[in-house]
Amino acid sequence: MKPPVLRSHDRSHLTRLNMAASSSSIWKQKVDLLQHRCESLCTGTGDDPILMKAKTTLQKLKDLSLDETEKFDISCFLNFYSKAILDITFYEENQLVDEDFVCDDALQKVGELIRDLSEPERLARDAKLHKKAPAIEVEVLECLYWRRGALLYMYCQTVGERECWHLRNPRTFQQCLIDGVSHLMKMLKMQSPLVLNDDVSFQDLNTATLLSQGIFSDTHVLALMYCGEMCYWGLKYCSDCQSSNTGSEFGDRSQDKLVAFKDVGENVLETYISVCEGPLISQGWNTEKAKTILQFLKY
């Protein structure tokens, strides 16, 4: 008996089903790898709340990856995947920070964490979702950029102070600063500032002023200061370095050009001082270090 002849729309339907099954299989492999990583971290740690949260998210991911139909939602998967990575890497990052990055492979581990936190965006690009609506939520993307920038800030600060800024590898240190500033600037630009005009009504002038300057949380304020400090370190301790201009050694090739430390530093610190001595005047933010650094950058 001959097999039934497939009509063109039947073939198209089967092709889409096969593509969905293939995609979900790839995602399932990634979930399995993350789950194995999470379980290995859980060994001997008890019920760490961050890892327990990651395990719950991973279970949601596993349920999503079992869907081999056309309804498989890659965007939803990427958001849960991002959140799981954020939790797992947060636990690992805290271990590095608590140890003051003293282990011999600290820089290698920092690089691995940066690549992990960059993977959701790479997956989104590979899935060609960047041409449509954003595949990853803005708040999640902000967090991914913030975590990369803050990790590099902590590494540079800790190693710099430990070595009294007589750095053994200033070129690598400079690249860390370039990447860190770039990640933090992307985080700060993820949301558009509120445009104040007659069409916008607000009850609190301070809040409106912050939103108009692109400040949506305390983390944004901290990112401004971190950026300013990293620009200061770049100019003061790495001014004699020649960049190889080959992109980041941490796997992100989007930062081939040197960050303009002076211009960026002045801009973010002026914004920081403005909001801390303006709308946030009663919130306890200190501006003395920012003013000292800004004076160095200007002269």
Q: In this predicted model, what pLDDT tens digit does every residue of 27-41 receive, in sequence order?
A: 788 888 999 999 888
Question: Under a CB-based contact definition with an 8 Å cutoff, are residues 77 and 64 in contact?
Answer: yes
Buried b (16+ CB within 10 A) or exposed e, 149-186: bbbbbbbbebbbeeeeeebeeeeebbbbbbbbbbbbbb
pLDDT at 8: 44
Point out the residues of the chain with pLDDT beneath 70.
Answer: 1-24, 44-46, 67-72, 128-134, 198-202, 241-259
d(CA 144, CA 263): 24
Q: What is the pLDDT of residues 224-238, one digit of tens each?
A: 999 999 999 999 998
Return the number of other C-beta atoms located less than 10 Å from residue 19's C-beta. 12
